[in-house]
Amino acid sequence: EVQLVESGGGLVQPGRSLRLSCAASGFTFDDYAMHWVRQAPGKGLEWVSGISWNSGSIGYADSVKGRFTISRDNAKNSLYLQMNSLRAEDTALYYCAKDMESVVISGVFDYWGQGTLVTVSS
Amino acid sequence: DIQMTQSPSSLSASVGDRVTITCRASQGISNYLAWYQQKPGKVPKLLIYAASTLQSGVPSRFSGSGSGTDFTLTISSLQPEDVATYYCQKYNSAPRITFGPGTKVDIK
């Protein structure tokens, strides 16, 4: 059974940093691209960032480019999102999502974690 | 950047009704279009990808069609468990991905 478990969310002041983690199990982690998707309270889905299986291809939404960094550790079956210079508008539930294709980034998400809540407020 | 729009933003229909949701891309995206269902308080679920391919385990009352700029998600016979917000998503320029704003479906 595929499982994605996010952690690391919490309350943080504007301008500070936070690192999210996603622990993956139930599939061959290093075969698949992975993504972060967020959802502000009462709002729609927003793709944040994606990373290929070997970290060779990485993409960011314009809203986070230059502030967020995605990474992965295939030996630990883990995905990360380093978030710097946080703003109030970054407040959201952050989901880890598995890409449905192996090796390439398809951009289709077949499994999602339960999410971790990030609140940016003074 | 290619923008995604959905219509209607919300709808209310009776059990058994045929429901159609439209998604439009500001530029052609071939068939790089997926649909997700998010029930209240739940995690999004993949319904359809490649515009019309049903994800494994998804009931056959869901179907998708379209190519280029105009796409539709159809629920052939609305069920109470279909109450959810439905999002389209373009992925022609992966890893850069864009979701539509969502369509909320309720039971009348």
Looking at chain B, list the stretches that DSSP marks H as alpha helix, in order from N- to C-terminal side. none
- Report CB contact under 8 Å: B102, A112: no
* Neighbouring-strand partners of residue A4: A24
- The pLDDT confidence band at residue A101, using thresholds 50, 70 and 90, is confident
Query: For residue B27, how many C-alpha atoms fall within 13 Å in the half-sphere facing its CB?
Result: 7
Q: Which residues of A touch B9 (CB under 8 A)?
A: none
User: Closest residue of A to B44, CA-based?
Assistant: A112
pLDDT of residue A4: 98
B79 to chain A, minimum CA–CA distance in Å? Answer: 23
Token pair in block for residue A102: 């192996």
Q: Which residues of B touch A114 (CB under 8 A)?
A: 43
pLDDT of residue A105: 83
| pLDDT higher than 90, residue A63 | yes
Q: Which of B43, B89, B99 sits opposite A114 (nearest CB)?
A: B43
pLDDT of residue B94: 79
pLDDT of residue B53: 98
pLDDT of residue B95: 77
Which of A45, A64, A93, A106 to mutate to test binding with chain B, by most B CBs within 10 Å of its CB? A45
Least Cα distance to B24 among B67, B64, B71, B63 occurs for B71
Q: Which of B43, B95, B99 sits opposite A50 (nearest CB)?
A: B95
Q: Which residues of B touch A95 (CB under 8 A)?
A: 43-44
pLDDT of residue A89: 97
| Percent helix, percent strand, percent coil in chain A, to nearest 5 | 5, 55, 40
- Indicate if the alpha-carbon torsion angle B49, A60, A78, A41 is positive or negative: negative
* Secondary structure of residue B81 in the 3-state scheme: helix
Low-confidence ranges of chain B (pLDDT < 70): none
pLDDT of residue B62: 98
Once rounded to an integer, what is the mean pLDDT over residues A38-58? 95
Q: Which of A47, A62, A100 sits opposite B97 (nearest CB)?
A: A47
pLDDT of residue B58: 98
Burial B72-97 (b: 16+ CB within 10 A, else e): bbebeebeeebebbbbbbbbbebbbb
- Report CB contact under 8 Å: B46, A45: no
B15 to chain A, minimum CA–CA distance in Å? Answer: 25
Once rounded to an integer, what is the mean pLDDT over residues A1-28? 98
Once rounded to an integer, what is the mean pLDDT over residues A3-29? 98
B89 to chain A, minimum CA–CA distance in Å? Answer: 8
- Indicate if the alpha-carbon torsion angle A57, A106, A112, A116 is positive or negative: positive
Q: Which residues of A touch B101 (CB under 8 A)?
A: 44
pLDDT of residue B29: 95
- Report CB contact under 8 Å: B96, A61: yes
Once rounded to an integer, what is the mean pLDDT over residues A96-102? 92
The per-residue pLDDT of chain A, averaged, comes to 96
pLDDT of residue B1: 84
pLDDT of residue B80: 97
At A4-14, the pLDDT tens digits run 999 999 999 99
Per DSSP, the residues of A78-119 read EEEEEE-S--GGG-EEEEEEEEEEESS----EEEE---EEEE
pLDDT of residue B96: 82
